Amino acid sequence: GQQGLAGVIVAKEAGAKKVIVTGISKDRIRFEMAKAFGADEIINVERDDPIQRVKGITEGRMADLVIDVTGNPRGAITAIDLVKKKGTVILPGLYGMDQETPLVLDKVAYKEVRVQGAFSHDFQSVFPAIRLAESGKYSLEKMVTHRFPLEQAEMAVRVAGGEVKGEDPIKVVIVP
């Protein structure tokens, strides 16, 4: 969604040599946007083994940094497999407060992986983000897939929450 797409932009702006995006078949539109925002490789995890693909793309080195924004505990587990020895895994998504994840801690220790949680941003990061948005370098408005008038705010929340069958929102906006 929007967090993953923003991650592509931030990675490119930070100088990442290769940005790899993973997702599932229903993420086709997100894949197209990720490519437009600078993703170098797209992996559909329903068709390809992401570990083998990343191994091939990186010539066996694996990823320096993995950001899991799936909100699915399986994504966090896979992130540990995708990162290189002494690499970093960032978990900015929420997985459910009562959700236990069967993480093999020996993998974290053996690979000397740094795992960093992230819930929000610091005040100083807002200004560079605003400058980047204002630059027009990226067509950020394409992330807005749904617009609703204020009178339809309840429907907007339902669409954003994935409660409306047939809708696959990236960013939902309520326009007053």
Residue 97 and residue 167 in one domain = no
Strand partners, 116: 90
Last residue of a domain, one of 117, 151, 168: 117
pTM of the complete model: 0.86
Residue with tokens 């906006």: 173
State the CATH number of the domain containing residue 77: 3.40.50.720
pLDDT of 100-136, one tens digit each? 778 788 899 999 999 998 887 778 888 999 999 999 9
Domain carrying residue 13: 2-117
> What is the rounded distance in angstroms from the CA atom of residue 126 to the CA atom of residue 5?
17
| Number of domains observed in the structure of the chain | 2
Residue 113 and residue 156 in one domain = no
| Number of residues assigned to the chain | 176
- Determine, yes or no, domain membership for 25: yes
Torsions phi, psi for 117 (to 5 deg): -85, 155
* In the predicted structure, residue 88 carries a pLDDT above the cut 90: yes
Q: Which of 84-88, 91-95, 112-116 has the lowest mean pLDDT?
A: 91-95
pLDDT of 22-32, one tens digit each? 999 989 999 99
Residue 93 and residue 8 in one domain = yes
Give which of 80, 88, 132 is closest to 108, Cα–Cα. 80
